[in-house]
Amino acid sequence: MKTILAELNETISARGSIVVMKDGMLVASDVREGVDADRLAALGAAIVTEVGLTLGVREGKSFTQIEIAAEQGKVILVEAGPTYLLVLLGARLEIGPGSIEIRSAANRVAREADLAA
């Protein structure tokens, strides 16, 4: 799974990416120098558990994708089978959750996660 993340980071020049379970547990990560992997994992866990659970109360299902835009970059989370793929991007990248590279990586992560389960 780490190879998938490394390839994705390389292809879209992402600052880092991680895979978290739907309960917030970290599965794999690959981040560039200067990015705090623990903080990225904590963000992933916070979103997945807090937003996921809150939405689940009403709709019975959690989210399929989230995009957080900030001044200096963005965070994208997409559903990948039983897990979520989180990607940290820099400010000037015009990439959204619908990008082919992220979708393709999410599909590969989903397949690996399904096999492992």
Partner 1 sequence: MAAPFTFGAGFVDRPLTRSLPLGRRRNPVQLISNVFGGPALSALVRKARTKLGAGDFEQAQRIVSKGLETYPGAEALLELELTIRRAQAREGIRSLRARIETDDDPRAYEQIVALYLELGMGAEAKQEAWSYANAHPDLDRPHLMIGEMSLQSFIDGLQARDAHEAYKRLQRAAALNKEAVKPRLLLSELYWCVGADHALRGMSTEIGEFARYDSNLEEVVEQLRSIPEPSGPDIMDGLFERVEVNGELFREPDTWPLHRRSTSSRMDEDRAERALESIIRQGAASELVLLQRNGTVIAHANPGADDDDEDEGGLVDVARIVARTVSRYARDLDLGAFRRCTIESPGGLLAVGEVGGVLAGARWNRGSEAQRLWERITVDLEGALGRGRR
Q: Which residues here bind partner 1, judged by CB under 8 A?
A: 35-36, 39-40, 42-43, 46-47, 50-51, 54-59, 61-75, 88, 96-97
Whichever of 3 and 36 has its CB closer to partner 1, that residue is 36
Structure tokens at 52: 């996921």
Amino acid at 92: R
Q: Return d(Cα 109, Cα 106) in angstroms, integer.
A: 5
Whichever of 11 and 73 has its CB closer to partner 1, that residue is 73
Whichever of 25 and 63 has its CB closer to partner 1, that residue is 63
Q: Return d(Cα 45, Cα 34) in angstroms, integer.
A: 20
Q: Return d(Cα 21, Cα 72) in angstroms, integer.
A: 27
Helix, strand, coil in percent for the chain, rounding step 5? 45, 30, 25
Do residues 30 and 16 make contact, with C-beta atoms less than 8 angstroms apart?
yes
CB 116 → partner 1: shortest distance, Å? 25
CB 62 → partner 1: shortest distance, Å? 7
CB 66 → partner 1: shortest distance, Å? 5
Whichever of 74 and 108 has its CB closer to partner 1, that residue is 74
CB 92 → partner 1: shortest distance, Å? 13
